[in-house]
């Protein structure tokens, strides 16, 4: 699955990585276990089976960084038999919502993930995939209680087939 993602400022990224590390240290699923150099805390604007480079210049124009964001709590996404995806819920202002819509308006993307579509977008920062139901309380107990607030400072496109990122804007 390809994606266009927003990257967090250094301080916000470190707070998320602290959560990742705490989950891993507790023997729980964590994004920290993904050791790719491209694995960073991010907010996905759009995800789809393929997002081609032909839109990169238009997507990156006038992004207006930095953009303010905040987190208000924890989200759980049902991952079926694998358990739950654990994430921090992102609360966004008008500027971030406008950027999200603009990324989608640049051109048609085939089969975008439903949670990334305008008007139904569920902005979040993933902490862990496949948390078993019986370990959810353990996972919640190790997460920081600090309410994350910060800046979004960059945008990138993830190409899942080539395993590359391209800076946008």
Distance separating alpha carbons of residues 88 and 96, to the nearest angstrom = 16
For residue 72, CA distances in Å to 89, 124, 161 come to: 6, 10, 33
Q: Does the structure show a pLDDT above 90 at 52?
A: no
| Per-residue model confidence (pLDDT) at position 107 | 75
For the segment 72-127, what is each residue's pLDDT rounded down to a tens digit?
A: 899 999 988 889 999 999 998 899 999 999 998 887 788 999 889 998 999 999 99
Q: What gap in Å lies between CA 82 and CA 96, rounded to an integer?
A: 31
pLDDT at 146: 81
Instruction: Write down the pLDDT at residue 79.
Output: 86
Q: What is d(CA 114, CA 48) in angstroms, rounded to the nearest whole number? A: 9
Question: Are 113 and 1 within 8 A, CB to CB?
Answer: yes
Give per-residue burial for 4-22: e unless 16+ CB within 10 Å, then b: bbbbbeeebbebbbebbeb
| Average pLDDT estimate for 153-168 | 92
Residue 118 in 3-state DSSP?
A: coil
The residue-averaged pLDDT of 150-155 equals: 95
CB 5 within 8 A of CB 160: no
Mean pLDDT score of the chain, rounded to an integer?
92
Whether residue 35 is predicted with pLDDT greater than 90 in this model: the reply is no
- Determine the 3-state secondary structure of 122 from DSSP: coil
Tell me the pLDDT band of 56, cut-offs 50, 70 and 90.
confident
Give the position of tokens 């038999």. 81
The stretch 30-38 carries a mean pLDDT of: 88
Structure confidence at residue 37 as a pLDDT band (50, 70, 90): confident
Question: What is the chain's alpha carbon radius of gyration, rounded to the nearest angstrom?
Answer: 16
Domains of the chain by start residue, with CATH: 2-158 (3.90.1140.10)
Q: What pLDDT was estimated at residue 30?
A: 96
């Amino acid at each position: 699955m390809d994606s266009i993602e927003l990257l967090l400022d250094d301080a916000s990224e470190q707070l998320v990585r602290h959560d990742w590390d705490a989950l891993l240290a507790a023997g729980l699923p964590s994004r920290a276990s993904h050791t790719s150099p491209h694995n960073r805390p991010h907010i996905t604007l759009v995800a789809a089976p393929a997002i081609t480079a032909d839109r990169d210049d238009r997507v990156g124009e006038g992004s207006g960084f930095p953009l303010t964001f905040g987190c208000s709590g924890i989200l759980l996404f049902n991952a079926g038999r694998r358990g739950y995806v654990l994430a921090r819920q992102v609360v966004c202002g008008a500027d971030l919502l406008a950027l999200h819509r603009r990324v989608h308006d640049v051109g048609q993307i085939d089969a975008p993930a439903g949670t990334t579509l305008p008007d139904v977008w569920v902005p979040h920062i993933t902490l862990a995939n496949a948390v078993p139901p019986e370990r959810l309380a353990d996972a919640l107990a190790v997460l920081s209680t600090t309410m994350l607030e910060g800046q979004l400072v960059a945008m990138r496109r993830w190409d899942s087939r080539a395993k590359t990122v391209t800076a946008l804007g």
